[in-house]
Amino acid sequence: MPVYNPPLRDMQFVMHEVLKVTDDFKGMPQHAEVDADTINAVLEEAGKFASEVLFPLNIGGDTEGCTLDKTTHEVKTPTGFKDAYKTYIEGGWAALSCDPEFGGQGLPLVVNQCFYEMMNSANQAWTMYPGLTHGAYAALHTYGTDEQKKTYLPKMTSGEWTGTMCLTEPHCGTDLGLMRTKAEPQADGTYRITGNKIFISAGEHDMAENIVHLVLARLPDSPPGTKGISLFAVPKFNAKADGTLGARNGIYCGGLEHKMGIHGNATAQIVIDGAIGTLVGQPNKGMQAMFVMMNAARLGVGNQSLGLTEVAYQNALAYAKDRVQGRSLSGTKAKDKPADPIIVHPDVRRMLLTAKAYAEGGRALAMFCSVLLEKVHHHPDEKVRKDSDDMLSLLTPITKAFLTDNGYNATTQCQQVFGGHGYIKEWGMEQYVRDARINMIYEGTNTIQSLDLLGRKVLGNNGATLKKFGKLVGALVMEEGVNEKMAEFINPLAVLGEQITKFTTEIGFKGLQNPDEVGAAAVDYLRVAGHLVFGYFWARMAQVALREIAAGNTDPFYMAKLQTARFYFAKLFPETATLMRTARAGSKSLMDTDAALA
């Protein structure tokens, strides 16, 4: 059976020693009094909930899955899921980072980020039920009317009601301009919504008494394409004026998708048959409001794969220390055993360190993004809000795609450590691989994220935001450039920082002549950018570790961090050279292939 121990020490290291988040909080009045001890205490209890309540349900939930009653359209979640959700509500976990105006605890988003990482490690399928609610909450909090906020946000904050995002339809995936769901205005100011949605995570379940669906639909005579899309709040049960449940609305589950993984979460086909909805935001401006949800979800999906990477690593490490097989090439290490533990073999260590480096680098990036998001919403300085929003816009597709690509790589490597036991269900590793593979697809495939990064976020403003991140890299290089002990981390980072400017300009010029050049380079480009970001955070983590060691700190944590940083820069970071070469190969070898693909 698999195991999971919340990585609280590493979370504390990133928050308090590398990012020093409480310094940022001092500049935001609502968080000025939040200190490290408070954060640590909350996360210690959060880790207990994840490891003791959710983790034991993971394999069983995957085996049992969800069940749809086609007569009532009700979905039963796996055994224990509903009880765990009740515990979650009673513990106040749903309200952790929500607005106190609506009953929230108002803690910084980085606390919620860490909590969700632990829950994703413990049980990603379960975590998606409350997880989708946060995106719906954010959209309503930003764009909802006072009446919508009064009706929905207190219940969503408490967790009594959950939320979804209903975008995709059977005939269109990412191209939402093709959607057909209709919204007919009514005399009372509401709308009657009719259409079909698919792939709706947590779209129907028995864990909460109501589900608030945020649905994209078209008004009569709306402009074609995405410019004619509006957003509506469509609850499963209509709410009465006093907040109690009213009549069942005309929105229900018509079927469940049979997926390769994440079986414990109900991925629903949603039928909307004249359901009553209310407009969120302005008519024909639904994509603007929906992007609040979509960007939150993209960061959330990156966090899902971060959680899977961590738990897969923990189990592979434990197995590698225990499993004896063969002898070390450099001489017997366990003389009292018939064979050495497989952790003595170089390639086993490569697989383990790959997962460790991707988990710890991903954790730093995810926390950094959560602090940026906090500044966007709460910093009193308009320039800080704008700069943080620009940076977050750049890092969101990287967080989604790079972390999920790495997560699939890492879980597969960890499965490989188990050898034949890796594809046997009771060890848990094959489930992590299946779940991680899905994360690369939904909330915008990783290729879509790559196109968004290169086409919109980088070339769209002539690299202005990329240069802002480059300034962070440049400042670190200037600070540590003459420190010989940092050379193995700073030198490759500085070189890539210089190379990526020329690399970006080159692709941009080629793209002006032929847009397919951008499409051909985008996936490779995102991974180069991802390594630039990871390289920056790994250099900062190495910097802190070296300073602690130099100060006489004998905690082995710092040496472990330093050794992992060395592995990352020696074995993973050099991938950038190959990626830049393949990106520069251009589109001809892809597009001039009609005979090959006939």
Catalytic residues: 443
Q: List the structure tokens of 352.
A: 């383990």
Which among 104, 136, 133 is positioned nearest to 30, based on CA atoms? Answer: 104
Q: Is 152 helix (H, G, I), strand (E, B) or coil?
A: helix
Which among 107, 131, 124, 104 is positioned nearest to 42, based on CA atoms? Answer: 107
Q: List the structure tokens of 251.
A: 């929105």
Q: Is 165 helix (H, G, I), strand (E, B) or coil?
A: strand
Residues 6+ apart with CB under 8 A from 556: none
b/e 253-264 (16+ beta carbons within 10 angstroms → b)? bbebeebebbbb
Q: List the structure tokens of 6.
A: 């919340």
Q: Pairing mode, if any, of strands 210-217 and 230-235?
A: antiparallel
- List beta partners, residue 162: 211
Q: List the structure tokens of 78.
A: 């796996």
Q: List the structure tokens of 231.
A: 């957003």
- List beta partners, residue 273: 194
The letter for the amino acid at 409 is N
Q: List the structure tokens of 79.
A: 């055994």
Rg (CA), the chain: 24
Distance CA 133, CA 158 (A): 11
Distance CA 408, CA 362 (A): 13
Distance CA 436, CA 514 (A): 34
Distance CA 321, CA 410 (A): 18
Which among 225, 163, 161, 234 is positioned nearest to 195, based on CA atoms? Answer: 234
